[in-house]
Structure 1
Amino acid sequence: MSKIALFGAAGVIGQSIAAAIGAKGQPYRVVGRSEASLRNAFGADPLAEIVTWNPDSPASVQAATAGVETLIYMVGVNYWQFELHPELMRKTLDGAIAAGVKNILLIGTVYPYGRAKSRPVREDHPREPHTFKGRMRKTQEDLLMQAHADGHIRATVLRLPDFYGPGVEASLLHRAAKAAVQGGVADMVGPIDQAHEFVFVPDVGPVVAKLVNTPAAFGKIWNFAGASVTTQHELVSEMERQTGRKLKLRVAGKTMLRLIGLFNPFMREMVEMHYLMTEPLIMDDSALQRLIGPIRKTPYAEGIRQTLAAVAGVRAIKALV
């Protein structure tokens, strides 16, 4: 019986966590709405137990969490449907508590902080989100941590900044990586010369695997910062250095996002969060490192190398089909 369940597992963060758990020979359960997506991601791993769920059905949530001790929550929603985050968390909590789940870890974001009032931002930074998405993520966190305070379940949150890596198509850097390998124009969201940080997705899994096995982690919220402070421009330069190809950039600012958003709902929703591009929010994760020890953070040059290699590999596969 799998004692650990990954809800919303089919995404890149879920696959990183599954790899870290599987590397220890530990069985795990992957839970999602689409059986096809789960089988595509985990069907070859004998340690993976594949389970589908319907979050609107309490019985389905309880069945998906039956026998589980620890639940890792990564359930995503469309970028234009953030009002679903608190609702889905509430339904998952109710089912998990009813099923006797002991622990839950939420993979969170920087959105609940709102605008940075200090640099770097520690976990004690005020949570004063000025955006709808930030308020929805804060409510999600509050529901979870209140369940912990009430003694119903042990809970913790791991907040991540933007991330990148092989297969991460939602990254700010993805289109630049494609252009670096395939040519063409790299569409980016700017300004690209402001301070930023990125987490390399394969680095997330080992941190989560340690965190859920650290009793002192529960009842608190933790930051996981990027490898270092950089800029998108610096990472584009690294792509150019590694490929020998000068990139053609098309950088969209807030005004351009609004125009594109007339036809693209994802881009329309990015306007609200554009402040993160102009008002850097850089996290301090020294508390996390004191808790679980040194954290392996892939240097940006190596992360870019692996990201470009993955894009090249996908291109080669498509050429053979």
Structure 2
Amino acid sequence: MSKVALFGAAGAIGQSIATALSNKGRPYRVVGRTDASLRNTFGTDPLAEIVTWNPDSPASVIAAAEGIETLIYLVGVNYWQFELHPELMRKTIDGAVAAGVKNIILIGTVYPYGMANTSRVREDHPREPHTFKGRMRKAQEDLLMQAHKDGRINATVLRLPDFYGPGVTASLLHGAAHAAVNGGTADMIGPLDRPHEFVFVPDVGPVVARLVDTPAAFGRIWHFAGAGVTTQREIVSEMERQTGRQLKLRVAGKTMLRLIGLFKPLIREMVEMNYLMTNPLIMDDSALQKLLGPIHKTSYVEGIRQTLVAESSTRPLAAAA
């Protein structure tokens, strides 16, 4: 029986974690709302147990968590529905506790911090979110860590920066990768020349798989930073170098996002988070490296290469469509 469950498994990070668990020969359960989507993604792996749930139904949450020792929480919501994050976390904690789950790992973000007041942000940096999305993510974390403090369940959070990688469409860099391979104009969110960091999605899974087996990880929050400080402009330049093609860019700053947002709700929701593009928040993950030992981080050069190769492999399908 599976002892590790990925709730909200179908996204890029969930797939990376599933791959890492599978590579270790470890059975795992993937939990999501749609059976067809889960089977399309994980159906060929004999180690994957596929379970659907309704997070609004306490009985469904308990059933999805039954027999699980460690629950990895990756549940997403629409970008315009962040008020659901705390409520879904509360329901999942209650169901997990009722089902006898021992541990929960939340895959988190930098949103709860708000503006960085240090050049490198450690886990003890004040959490002072000035955005609605940041407050909702902070409330989500607080619910989980309070459950740990109350002795209901062992909990930890792994915070990640922006990410990219093969097949990852929900990335600041996807438009550039698509244009680098297919031509056309890359839509990007600026400014492009400010320091930034990105984590390569395939690097995340092995770290999470190690946290599952590290009792000392629970009870506090950890950072997993990118492969160094870069800029979006440098990423674009590397894509141009690798493809030999100069990219055409269409860059939207905060003002342009507001204008586009008048017609596109998703873009409108990005306005309040644009501070992360203008005010760098660079993570310090020395604590995680001290906990786990050496951690592999794919270089941007290699990560971009793999991302472009994956984008090239989808080109015939896109043309046929």
TM range (shorter): over 0.9
- Give deviations 1:28-55, integer Å, cap 9, x for gaps: 0000001111011100000000000001
Measure the CA separation in 2 of the matches of 1:319 and 1:286. Answer: 45
- Residue correspondence of structure 1 range 108-123 to structure 2 within 5 A: 108-123=108-123
Structure 1 residue 209 corresponds to structure 2 residue 209: yes
**AA matched with 2:140:** Q
Aligned counterpart, 2:152: 152
- Give deviations 1:169-206, integer Å, cap 9, x for gaps: 11000000000000000110000000000000000000
Measure the CA separation in 1 of the matches of 2:237 and 2:85. Answer: 36
Structure 1 residue 56 corresponds to structure 2 residue 74: no
Structure 1 residue 132 corresponds to structure 2 residue 135: no
Measure the CA separation in 2 of the matches of 1:167 and 1:12. Answer: 8
Measure the CA separation in 2 of the matches of 1:191 and 1:320. Answer: 35
Structure 1 residue 282 corresponds to structure 2 residue 245: no
Structure 1 residue 198 corresponds to structure 2 residue 194: no
Aligned counterpart, 1:44: 44
Structure 1 residue 19 corresponds to structure 2 residue 27: no
**AA matched with 1:138:** K
Structure 1 residue 170 corresponds to structure 2 residue 170: yes
Q: What is the SS of the residue equivalent to 2:14?
A: helix
- Residue correspondence of structure 1 range 1-321 to structure 2 within 5 A: 1-319=1-319
Q: What is the SS of the residue equivalent to 2:314?
A: helix
- Give deviations 1:25-83, integer Å, cap 9, x for gaps: 11100000011110111000000000000011100000000000000000000000000
Name structure 1 gaps, 5 residues minimum: none
**AA matched with 1:131:** T
Measure the CA separation in 1 of the matches of 2:5 and 2:315. Answer: 33
Measure the CA separation in 2 of the matches of 1:159 and 1:26. Answer: 24
The alpha carbon displacement at 1:119 in A equals 1.1
The alpha carbon displacement at 1:320 in A equals 5.4
Measure the CA separation in 2 of the matches of 1:269 and 1:213. Answer: 37
Q: What is the SS of the residue equivalent to 1:168?
A: coil
The alpha carbon displacement at 1:264 in A equals 1.1
Measure the CA separation in 2 of the matches of 1:224 and 1:263. Answer: 36
Measure the CA separation in 1 of the matches of 2:265 and 2:8. Answer: 22
Measure the CA separation in 1 of the matches of 2:78 and 2:36. Answer: 19
Measure the CA separation in 2 of the matches of 1:309 and 1:199. Answer: 18
**AA matched with 2:108:** G
TM, length-normalised to structure 1: 0.99
Measure the CA separation in 2 of the matches of 1:166 and 1:297. Answer: 15
Measure the CA separation in 2 of the matches of 1:228 and 1:277. Answer: 16
The alpha carbon displacement at 1:316 in A equals 2.3
Measure the CA separation in 2 of the matches of 1:297 and 1:265. Answer: 35
Q: What is the SS of the residue equivalent to 1:272?
A: helix
Measure the CA separation in 1 of the matches of 2:138 and 2:120. Answer: 20
Measure the CA separation in 1 of the matches of 2:139 and 2:319. Answer: 46
Measure the CA separation in 1 of the matches of 2:23 and 2:165. Answer: 19
Measure the CA separation in 2 of the matches of 1:21 and 1:176. Answer: 31
The alpha carbon displacement at 1:167 in A equals 1.0
**AA matched with 1:56:** D
Q: What is the SS of the residue equivalent to 2:273?
A: coil
What root-mean-square deviation, in Å, do the aligned CA atoms of Structure 1 and Structure 2 show? 0.7
**AA matched with 1:44:** T
**AA matched with 2:160:** L
Structure 1's consecutive aligned runs of 4 or more residues displaced over 2 angstroms after TM superposition are 316-321
TM, length-normalised to structure 2: 0.99
Q: What is the SS of the residue equivalent to 2:272?
A: coil
**AA matched with 1:58:** P
